[in-house]
Structure 1
Amino acid sequence: MRILDWYILKRYLVTFLFTLLILIPIAVAIDVSEKVDKFLAHSDLTAMQIIDQHYKNFIIYYANTFMPLALFIAVILFTSKLSNNTEIVAMTNAKISFTRFLYPYMIGATLVTIFALAMNHFVVPNSSKERKEFEKQYLTRKKYTDHLVQNFSLQLNDSTYIYLKSYNFKSSNGTYFTIENYKGIELVQKLTADNIRWNENDQKFRLTRYKLRKLYKEKDSIFTGVNLDTTFAFTPKDFLFKSALAQEMPSDELSEFIEISRKRGVKNLNAYLVELHKRTSLPISSYILTIIAVALAFKKKRGGIGVNLATGIAVMFVYVFFMKVAEVLGGVAGANSFIYVWIPNIVFGGLALYLYLNARK
């Protein structure tokens, strides 16, 4: 790399970090003003707990969220400054093409993309889990329904179905449990119990007042009892509706959950698929946003940095709006979640290509 490449790359990364460090304190200040009363309402809550369990994870989450915006604004700011200082004119006179000029930008975008991919797939989900546990314990009102599921049914595989009238996660106790096994369309076994209780230590269920019915061609067999300790191919975690918890699962766990749910016959997994695909599509947008920002700020304009910044923020607003709409549409049953999540990148990738070709002229 030439000295000029190092110069641009350094400005790229420094301005990006500087912009990100401006946005984060603003978000923290707003959050503190909204939640300070709730913090003070808990006398046992220390400042260290708030910082370690909430704001550490808050900063990780919002730094990742603001990353595309910070990157876009940063590239426009320092590229516009290069243009206003006629540094780009000097580069052009030195026969440096627009494509060659983009070289250090693409290196910077690659570094940001790799970092963002690692954050999205592994760091942010674990951080979000800890942050939401803190919020649930100290910042939100606890409702009885938060730990209760009612009228729950699940297809474990092609031949096994379960049903629960209710299950309380706090007491690990459920009522009116049924599990049915089929061979084709014929019922071959049915186990019912008035109560089902999960034992965390033994990793077993205890059925109370149970009845096991086995169906044969010529006769049925029925077994009854008071208590039965047994294991099944599921745990209480499978009773949770996890679309709201998808953000808290690392990508390997989320992919495994999607695969298991698909085998169990869950019809609409788009809410999970949108979250999984978004973790890759958003970091890749670093390349697209960088090209758009450079192309917008490459040429010196009347009005200086202000005009470029206003144009850039407008483009970024449209991109974010388009991305959120695509996520909602991608979560609808029957939609191709992969296509919808990547549509904003495809459309703005086309815009980036147009601006790139125009800037080369």
Structure 2
Amino acid sequence: MVTFLFTLLVLIPIAIAIDIAEKIDNFLEHADLSFYQIVDEYYKNFIIYYTNTFMPLALFIAVILFTSKLSNNTEIIAINNAKVSFTRFLYPYFIGATLITILSLVMNHFVVPQSSSTRKKFEKEYINGNRQKHEFKYINDFSLQLTDSTYIFIRNYNTENNRGYDFSSELYDGIELKTKLVADNIKYNKKDSTFRLQNWRLRKIYDQRDSIFLGDKIDTVFNFTPRDLIYKSALSQEMPSDELYKFIKVSEKRGVKNLNAYLVEFYKRTSLPIASYILTIIAVALAFRKRRGGTGVNLAIGFGMMFFYVFLLKVSEVLGGVAGVNPLLYVWMPNFFFGCIAIYLYLNARK
């Protein structure tokens, strides 16, 4: 555990130094931005995010370093001669991995999302600037299913002034259209969570006749907010898991076509901490035997496997976010692949 903490204390300052070198110009552009604000709103949350991200890597390196030291001091030979099985030898490692896994699960599901919300707000204000603002500002040709029978459509919506154009709402009874409400303009009022429709027309369809009502302005309520119009994977990183799960379920009922980006983020919060067990077995199996070249060879092999794991993890996230695939399968694919390697190394090490 001490080696694990030491590894984190080595990795985090490196990440901070690289980030400062990259963003120093953005900080200097804002004269009103104080040193305390940078540390409190950005780098405090930056440390929380990357500490959680580096945990599996730090654990992997720590296990290799610690086990290699035992091996180089011939302590593992003494343990083997004492008839201690390899499975029993793994017990303390799994206790440490369990503690780190529990910590990582809590951080992934609850702490990091809230921290990311503050950090991304700072990035939007002082780093990304107009580029990210423009990305989330305009929503075009958006449709949403509010209930089993109610659908809405908006041609264009501006999230900055909460105003949209060419709005329509349709109510169905089965497959039969019963009412249709259209408006040239729609504006959201945050104060009372209502929508103001301008130049609206309401058509009610009956068996023998239709009724049409119209007016200049009307205030009404709908079962959605402007935030529901923004379906971006970046927003999922800012939601605690309970809120993200509810959001996914509500969106599924509303008929949102592709939620895989949100599902990938939700599943990843569990799969990455569980990988600690797999990486622990691999690290112990690689380092418990004394090698010519010592710790350096074990670290070289370990770093190679770790970078391949990160590469496979990123590929699986991208593929899992594509519509029409099973995101759960793709998110867990790196764990399945490295789990097979861990089983092979474990069985080989027992011999």
Give the TM interval when normalised to the shorter protein: over 0.9
Match of 2:189 among 184, 199, 205: 199
Please, what is the CA RMSD of the aligned residues? 1.2
Separation in structure 2 between the aligned mates of residue 148 and residue 337 of structure 1, nearest angstrom: 28
Distance in 1, Cα, partners of 2:135 & 2:247:
24
Deviates more, 1:259-268 or 1:142-151: 142-151
Q: Deviations over 1:97-122 (max 9, x none)?
A: 11111110000000000000001111
Provide the rounded CA distance (Å) in 2 between the counterparts of 1:213 and 1:81: 79
Deviation at 1:38, TM superposition (A): 1.0
What CA distance in whole angstroms lies between the structure 2 residues aligned with 1:333 and 1:40? 41
Q: Tell me which residue corresponds to 2:341.
A: 351
Question: Does 2:252 match 1:262?
Answer: yes
Gap runs ≥5 in structure 1? 1-12
Query: 1:157, CA displacement in angstroms?
Result: 2.9
Distance, in Å, in 2 between the alignment partners of 1:211 and 1:67 is 57
Tell me which amino acid in the other structure corresponds to 1:335: V
- 1:58 is aligned to 46
Residue equivalent to 1:208: 198
Aligned residue number for residue 239 of structure 2: 249
Shift of 1:175: 1.6
The aligned counterpart of 2:178 is 188
Q: Deviations over 1:289-330 (max 9, x none)?
A: 001000100010111000111111111122111222122221
> Is 1:330–1:340's contact at 8 Å kept on the other side of the alignment?
yes
The corresponding residue for 1:360 is 350
The list of structure 1 runs, each at least 4 consecutive aligned residues, that deviate by more than 4 angstroms after superposition, is: none
Q: What is residue 262 of structure 2 aligned with on the other side?
A: 272
Q: Please give the residue correspondences for 1:55-204 in structure 2 after superposition, counting only pairs within 5 Å.
A: 55-143=43-131, 144=134, 146-204=136-194
User: Counterparts of 1:145 and 1:77 in 2: how far apart (Å)?
Assistant: 45
User: Separation in 2 of the partners of 1:154 and 1:118?
Assistant: 33
Q: 2:25 aligned to 34, 37, 40, which one?
A: 37
Match of 1:236 in 2: 226
Distance in 2 (CA, whole Å) between partners of 1:327 and 1:172 is 32
Deviations 1:129-188 (A, max 9, x none): 111110110011315453222222212233211111222222122122110111122111
- The answer to whether the 8 Å contact 1:158/1:265 transfers is no
Correspondence for 1:8? none
The residue identity in structure 1 corresponding to 2:64 is I
Q: Which moved more, 1:121-130 or 1:142-151?
A: 142-151
Contact kept in structure 2, 1:208 and 1:228, CA below 8 Å: yes
**Length-normalised TM-score, structure 1:** 0.94
Aligned partners of 2:64, 2:190: CA distance in 1, in Å?
Answer: 55
In the TM superposition, what whole-angstrom CA distance separates every residue of 1:261-312 from its partner, at most 9, and x where no partner exists? 1111122221111111111000000000001000100010111000111111
State the one-letter code of the partner of 1:43: A
- State the TM-score, normalized to the length of structure 2: 0.97
Instruction: Kindly provide the amino acid, as one letter, of the partner of residue 248 in structure 1.
Output: E
Partner residue in 1 for 2:276:
286
Q: Does the 8 A contact of 1:295 with 1:356 survive in 2? A: yes
SS at 2:16 equivalent: helix
Whether contact under 8 Å (2:320, 2:330) holds in the other structure is yes
1:21-32 residue pairs with structure 2 within 5 A?
21-32=9-20
Work out whether residues 278 and 341 of structure 1, in 8 Å CA contact, stay in contact via their aligned partners in 2: yes
AA of the residue aligned to 2:208: E
Measure the CA separation in 1 of the matches of 2:190 and 2:343. 56
Q: Quick one: percent identity of the two aligned structures?
A: 67
Amino acid aligned to 1:116: S
The alpha-carbon deviation at position 229 of structure 1 amounts to 1.2
Please give the secondary structure, in 2, of the residue aligned with 1:248: coil
Contact 1:330 1:341 in 2 (8 A): yes
Q: Distance in 2 between matches of 1:320 and 1:242?
A: 23
**Contact in 1 for aligned 2:136/2:230 (Cα 8 Å):** no
Query: Which deviates more from structure 2 when the two are superposed, residues 168-177 or residues 111-120?
Result: 168-177
Cα-to-partner distance string for 1:54-107 (whole Å, 9 max, x where unaligned): 001111111111111111011001100110011112222222211111110000
Q: Which moved more, 1:214-223 or 1:160-169?
A: 160-169
Q: Tell me the residue number matched to 1:7.
A: none
CA distance in 1, matches of 2:146, 2:313: 34
Structure 2 residue identity aligned to 1:329: L
